[in-house]
Amino acid sequence: MTRQMTGAKMVVQALKDQGVDVVFGYPGGAVLPIYDEIFQQNDIRHVLVRHEQGAVHAAEGYARSTGKPGVVLVTSGPGATNAVTGLTDALMDSIPIIVLTGQVPTFMIGNDAFQEADTVGITRPCTKHNWLVSDTKNLSEILHQAFHVCTAGRPGPVLVDIPKDVQFASAEYTPPQKAKTSHYQPQVKGDMATIIELVEAMEVAERPIFYTGGGVINSGPAASQLLRELVESSGIPITSTLMGLGAYPANGQHWLGMLGMHGLYEANMAMHGCDLMINIGARFDDRITGRLDAFSPGSKKAHIDIDPSSINKVIKTDIPIIGDIAHVLEDVLNVWKSRGRKVNREAIQKWWAKIEAWRKVDCLAFKQEGKSIKPQYALERLEALTKDHDRYICTEVGQHQMWAAQYLGFNDPNRWMTSGGLGTMGYGFPASIGVQMAHPDALVINVAGEASWLMNMQEMGTAVQYRLPVKQFILNNERLGMVRQWQELLHGERYSSSWSEALPDFVKLAEAFGAKGILCSDPADLDDAIMEMLNYDGPVIFDCLVEKHENCFPMIPSGEPHNKMLLGQNASTKDAIGSKGAVLV
């Protein structure tokens, strides 16, 4: 039996058939037919954001914390162009989202009509794929293809641009099972001969290391479980990128911590000194490698990734395996077990002894002294008081983001939402809204800097309207902290436009929105203030006044290899050169 319906109704029906339960959006003239259909049903909840960028970041938070695609609905012209930052962010971090945009009627396209923009042209570089629907009879199939493309292979954002006359016209609806998706079927099974080559390398390696990324999390829960089994069985140390935190538990005995520009000393040194590097779902980005010609020079490098374009793009790989992480790890484990679960345990024991020596440097050491709150201490206490909760953490971008990655522990995947590749200030607050919508009973905290948080502060209206108890934990140093740090260390202490002036009273700002505001400036009051935040059943802005000129260490200086790090002055190292409150090792 054929089902005739308008294009607007097709959109809503397709979302229902794809299992969508929430859409983040902002209405406008070019999408009003779709909004009218949303009004007439109760299966899909619409969340009215205050800015289209906020809608996309909220959908990212929803997607990252659930593993399901997030959905956005915005109007044409400025509605679509406001979504571009979020689309680019999702593309860089491989987050599956579908952005539906309204467009002027087909017969007006190209005439500079009111609120017209070349949305497909503008978003082609920042989407995995996009479509302009010119005929209603193609709309439903394109929508189902969009869901397939955004989730198959390496996840990413897609966009469907829907002219207003296409929304009004009627045609036959195509159900998901009849949509043509065979033209895009990424390879998921790895080459068995290459997998055997990797296992053979694991069996004889003396200083192996697993280097994991967000691809493990994107592959789904099975990938994280298989990774944990492989690590525990083999005894090989493991580190992770910023985006991969939680795939292996932070309390696991083989965990080295995060690596990279602000990664841990022991993780970076192990990467530099290993003889077998097994990259699982990471892309060798510049924040990890440091100077390319000095990156882990003595190691054989394996790379498992579902995206063929990531293989050999940055670093030459000796053992390239294209495939889905879960499928490949399952085969690796099966082959390794069938061959007797062999590793060079005596050599790996010596390797661990070396790693333990690096660990004694205690690169995250700090001293909480005096009446000023150290940002590290604020996050140390936040971790202690919330680690036993059903907790999700989002961040903005900057020093606070790196401190959060260093001092907060993640024992499960999908609990850590941050902007890695694009580094988008303003990401965290709307992302926390998306996470809270997906997990209404969980504790959702956005660790923020005051400068980043102000970029999408308008979303406090969204949080209050939908009674979302998101906690905004702002480390307020009245500075653009990471910019100021680079200016101190690399630009002769010339602080060009890196001090925030005319900041709002965050407590009054919270109250103006109908939320709760908390101010804390004394370390003696910090625990009680955090508990007050946790116990309040509603959105909170927590203004934590921290040391203004604290720097985030460890840090790989610009142009240095990843084994040359600036450490904080409290790190326990003797072979060091003093440098503005830090040591270079």
The catalytic residue positions are 52, 114-115, 164, 482
Q: List 72's β-bridge partners, or say none.
A: 24, 99
Contact 156, 128 (CB under 8 A): yes
User: The tokens of 350 are what?
Assistant: 């010596």
Can you give the C-alpha Rg of the chain in angstroms?
A: 25
Instruction: Name the pairing type of β-strands 582-584 and 97-103.
Output: unpaired
3-state helix, strand, coil in the chain (%, to 5): 40, 20, 40
d(CA 426, CA 433): 12
Q: 55 phi and psi, to 5 degrees? A: -60, -45
d(CA 344, CA 531): 48
Contact 325, 223 (CB under 8 A): yes
What's the sign of the alpha-carbon dihedral 281, 287, 292, 295? negative
Q: 161 phi and psi, to 5 degrees? A: -95, 120
Question: How long is the chain?
Answer: 585
d(CA 286, CA 276): 20
d(CA 299, CA 271): 9
120: left (phi over 0), alpha (psi -120 to 50) or beta: alpha
d(CA 216, CA 261): 21
Q: List 427's β-bridge partners, or say none.
A: none
Instruction: Name the pairing type of β-strands 4-6 and 170-172.
Output: antiparallel
CA dihedral (104, 108, 113, 115) in degrees, to 10, reads 10
Q: Look-up: residue for tokens 């690169």? A: 363
d(CA 311, CA 295): 16
Burial (Cβ within 10 Å: 0-12, 13-18, ≥19) of residue 235? middle
| Distance from the Cα of residue 87 to its chain's centroid | 13
